Amino acid sequence: MLFTLAAFAFFASPQNVAILQDGARYECVDSAVQGDLQVLTPYGVLHCAQNPVVDVIDASAEVKQLERLCELDEVAWMTRIRERGLLTTLTTTTPTIENRPFWLNSLAEVGRGLDPLPQKTPQKKRLEKLWSAFRKAAPGPAALLLGRVSFTSQGAQARPPHRITLSDLLRAYKKDDVRRWGVFRIAERQLEHDLLAELLNASTQDAFAHTRNAAAQASMAIDSDLAQGHWAYHLYGGRSGERQFSASHLGQFGHPQEALAPLMAALAASQIKTRGTGTPRGSAFFGTQVSVVSDFSVSVAQAAVIARPRVSVIMSGNAIDVRILGTTTVSAITTALSQLTSQKFGTKAEDWLAWYAKS
Measured CA to CA, the distance from residue 216 to residue 253 in angstroms comes to: 8
Measured CA to CA, the distance from residue 90 to residue 140 in angstroms comes to: 8
How large a percentage of the chain has pLDDT more than 70? Answer: 80
Collapsing DSSP to helix, strand or coil, 150 comes out as helix
What integer pLDDT is reported at residue 325 of this predicted model?
55
Q: Which amino acid would we find at residue 340?
A: L
Model confidence at 5: pLDDT above 50: no
Those residues whose C-beta lies under 8 Å from the C-beta of residue 283, and which sit 6 or more positions away, are 319, 320, 321, 322
- pLDDT tens for 279-310 read 445 555 556 666 666 666 665 555 555 666 66
Q: For residue 20, name the pLDDT band (cuts at 50, 70, 90).
A: very high
Average pLDDT, the chain: 85
According to DSSP, the β-strands at 53-58 and 16-20 are: antiparallel
What integer pLDDT is reported at residue 241 of this predicted model?
87
Over range 92-118, report the average pLDDT.
95
Is residue 322 within 8 Å of 266, Cβ to Cβ?
yes
Q: Which amino acid would we find at residue 76?
A: A
Give which of 127, 186, 180, 178 is closest to 155, Cα–Cα. 186
Q: Which residues of 197-229 are buried (b: 16+ CB within 10 A; e: fewer)?
A: ebbbebbbebebebbbbbbbbbbbbbbeeebbe
- pLDDT tens for 27-66 read 998 778 999 999 999 999 999 999 999 999 998 888 888 9
Q: Which amino acid would we find at residue 344?
A: K
Collapsing DSSP to helix, strand or coil, 29 comes out as coil
Measured CA to CA, the distance from residue 9 to residue 349 in angstroms comes to: 53
Measured CA to CA, the distance from residue 18 to residue 341 in angstroms comes to: 44
Q: Which residues pair with 313 in a beta bridge?
A: 291
Give 155-164's long-range contacts (Cβ < 8 A, gap of 24+): 155/189, 155/190, 155/191, 156/189, 156/190, 156/191, 158/190, 161/124, 161/125, 161/127, 161/128, 162/124, 162/127, 163/127, 163/190, 164/127, 164/131, 164/190
Enter the pTM of the model: 0.79
- Measured over the CA atoms of residue 212, residue 216, residue 218 and residue 223, the dihedral's sign is positive
- pLDDT tens for 226-279 read 999 999 999 877 788 899 999 999 999 999 989 999 999 888 876 765 544 444
